[in-house]
Copies of this chain bind each other. A is one copy, B any other.
Amino acid sequence: MSNCESCPTKDKCSSKENCMIENNPLNQVKKVIGVMSGKGGVGKSTVSVLLANQLRKQGYRVGILDADITGPSIPRLMHVENQRAEASEMGIFPVNTKNGMKVISLNLLMEDENQPVIWRGPLLAGVVKQFWTDVIWGDLDYLLIDMPPGTADIALTVMQSIPINGVVMVSVPQDLVSMIVAKAVNMARKMDIDVIGVVENMSYIQCPDCKTKIQMYDDDNTEEFLKDMNLDLIGELPMCKEIIDISKNGMETISDNLSSTLDDITKKVISKI
């Protein structure tokens, strides 16, 4: 049932009359951040995990909701792929990471992670809604939602049924990708959701041997795209081994340099919601 008192977006809410959001009385989530793109494979899950870890390092209580039901990457990136989320009469208990973050993903409810979820949209949407209403998140400062590619059922349901304070858009510097990211930005705005800004991923490729910065995309019209769409650039991330390897090594191999970039990005994100 809708409960405005515990709703993360109550301060800026303009839709109390036609609210579709049900808040779980066991949960007190202060802020909800969506990580979106429209395009697949640009690094939404990676950015979600990097942001979550950075927020955790800063002492916040953090959860990640993996809304990519048919292609979930979060359990492996958070090193909890061998754990299982447990259901009780009260609801579903998310899985805990070693450093105390909470995670829910469909893969954490499946016996075999290789098995596909061959569901039509309404079923997918129902699951994502349950990840908000029936998961016992408890008290969180930040819940990050890792969105699937596209602007269909799941994105629509997340935006209609979860009180999002803002979305971070993830893009890569290629015109073809910007066009699809523009679709996601336009969708968020149509749904009255704040777009916090853009994290440009794979801005350059860092050679693991000689550390040369390779500009793989030379049609980088990022500035023009940001201006046209009236978007802020939150930060730029390279395609480098230390980021690629977080699914193997966690955050242990992240250099001080990258860590400081991530710190800046995280601070910008939370200052804007």
Let me know if A103 is at the binding interface, CB within 8 A. no
In Å, the complex CA distance between A40 and B154 comes to 15
Within 8 A of B (CB), among A65-116: 69-73, 76-77, 113-116
Interchain CB contact (< 8 A) of A40 among B40, B121, B241: B40
Q: For the complex, what is the distance from the CA of A187 to the CA of B183, rounded to whole Å? A: 28
Question: A161 to B150, alpha carbons, bound, how many Å?
Answer: 22
Cα–Cα, bound, A120→B160 (Å): 13
Interface string of A42-62 (1 = CB under 8 A from B): 100000000000000000000
Cβ-based interface call for A176 (8 A) = yes
When distances are taken between beta carbons in the complex, the residues of chain B under 8 Å from A42 are 40-41
Contact of A151 among B70, B150, B212, B244 (CB under 8 A): B70
Cα A69 to Cα B155 with chains together (Å): 14
Q: Do B216 and A209 have beta carbons less than 8 Å apart?
A: no
A239 proximity list for chain B (CB < 8 A): 216
- Is A162 an interface position by the 8 A CB rule? no
Give the chain B neighbours of A205 by CB distance below 8 A: 205, 214, 216
Are the CB atoms of B152 and A118 closer together than 8 Å? yes
With a cutoff of 8 Å between Cβ atoms, the chain B residues found around residue A176 in the complex are 73, 76-77, 247
Write out, one digit per residue, whether chain A residues 219-249 have a CB within 8 A of any chain B CB (1) or not (0): 1000000000000000000010100100110
Interface residues of A (CB under 8 A from B): 38-42, 69-73, 76-77, 113-122, 124-125, 148-153, 155-156, 174-176, 179-180, 182-184, 186-187, 190-191, 205, 207-209, 212, 214, 216-217, 219, 239, 241, 244, 247-248
